[in-house]
Amino acid sequence: MLLTQLSNALDRAFDTDIPEKIGVAVSGGGDSMALLDLLRQWGMAELAVVSVNHGLRPEAADELALVADYAAQHGLKHNVLQWTWGGEGNLQNAARDGRHQAISAWVKENELSHVALGHTKDDQAETFLMRLSRGSGVEGLACMAACRESDGVTWLRPLLDVTREDLRAYLRENNLSWADDPSNKDMQFDRVKARQMFETLAPLGLTLDRLAQTAAHMQRQKDIVQWAEEQIGKVFVQDSIGDMVADRAVFESVSDALRSKVFADALCLVSGQKYRPRFRPLQEAMTSDTPTPLHGCLIVPGKNSLRITREWAAVRDEVAASDGLWDGRWRLHYDGETPTEALQIKALGKEGLAKISDWRDTGHIRQSLWATPALWQGDRLIAAPLAGLSAGWTAQLLRT
């Protein structure tokens, strides 16, 4: 039964184009150990197994040893990647992002294209509850997709229609070992709190199946929104200094749901942030008649336009070598011989712009120019190519 469900899910993901080799992310927990064994039983592609040691618990070594033993027993290649938390931000979010980045790099190094993950119907329902508690809209409530491409990697979740208990029963029936992470019972984590809510919600009809079903409905609505967004075209257009600019009349003619989405996408493009801002501040910034900072950007409303520019306060401490990448999106190039003096790329800022008498000839507003890259030698401004002071330098925008 489970093997048939997995096979059907992979048929939908691959159609007839099954890769020769698939990566499998395995932690040693029940979900991923069952996934690994099911994929081996499926047998349509060679498997490469990868685990990530977060270095947070001493028990992790024993859990990964289970994976290593299984891989050795069945002649599978197994790699363990290391990730270290810097101590900043939400631990679970940081671990998830770190794991994603580590596995993405491993996939590319090993010339793979697909990685299978052991997420289940339980994970789908838990994620739905967590995002519902944060006031997420359709995009957030759509939760996890069975097949998704990110960072050049296709992430597969072939067990989204299978419950966690179904996988435990499969492991017991086949005498397969797994490890239970004690953090899965730690109530300081939102996912554990959501998991504990199931017993309370079930009498209201909000069962695991119903929550997962609602997430699937949200996914269909998300697909409709994406189609509609494509139909209205690119509301925001990127200009020469990396700002996103929309015709205000066109922007305001779009439905509120689509307007929020394209606005959030434009903010993410300018700021380089992966996650969209929360709904309420997004709505407030989108409808404000005065310049409003949000998400590392400054929203500047005009009579006929709406502009999203990088916020100077978000980049004022960004420093890069003259040949380095600044703010994740700018490189400066010199037209002559490489300068020998020590130069740094920093934001132009208000003081820098005040040193350029003809900056208005660029046609750009001062708030945008403050956050553009400039060459400095100590406190001396050498060049600001986007503000009209080239001195032989040009700026290349890499994030478009």
Query: Which positions make up the binding site?
Result: 27-32
Task: List, for residues 49-68, the tens digit of each pLDDT value.
Answer: 999 987 767 777 788 999 99
- Within 236-310, strands assigned E span 236-238, 244-247, 292-294, 297-301, 305-310
134 Cβ contact list (under 8 Å, min separation 6) = 140, 278
Compute the distance between CA of residue 105 and CA of residue 388 in angstroms, rounded to an integer: 39
Task: List, for residues 225-282, the tens digit of each pLDDT value.
Answer: 777 777 665 789 999 999 999 999 989 888 887 888 889 989 999 999 988 899 899 9
Compute the distance between CA of residue 103 and CA of residue 113 in angstroms, rounded to an integer: 11
The more confident residue out of 146 and 89 is 146
**Mean pLDDT of the region 73-80:** 96
Query: Which positions make up the binding site for ATP?
Result: 27-32
Task: List, for residues 347-387, the tens digit of each pLDDT value.
Answer: 999 999 999 999 999 999 999 999 999 999 999 999 999 99
Mean pLDDT, rounded, of the chain: 89
Tokens of residue 73, six digits: 């027993």
Pairing state between β 344-347 and 380-383: unpaired
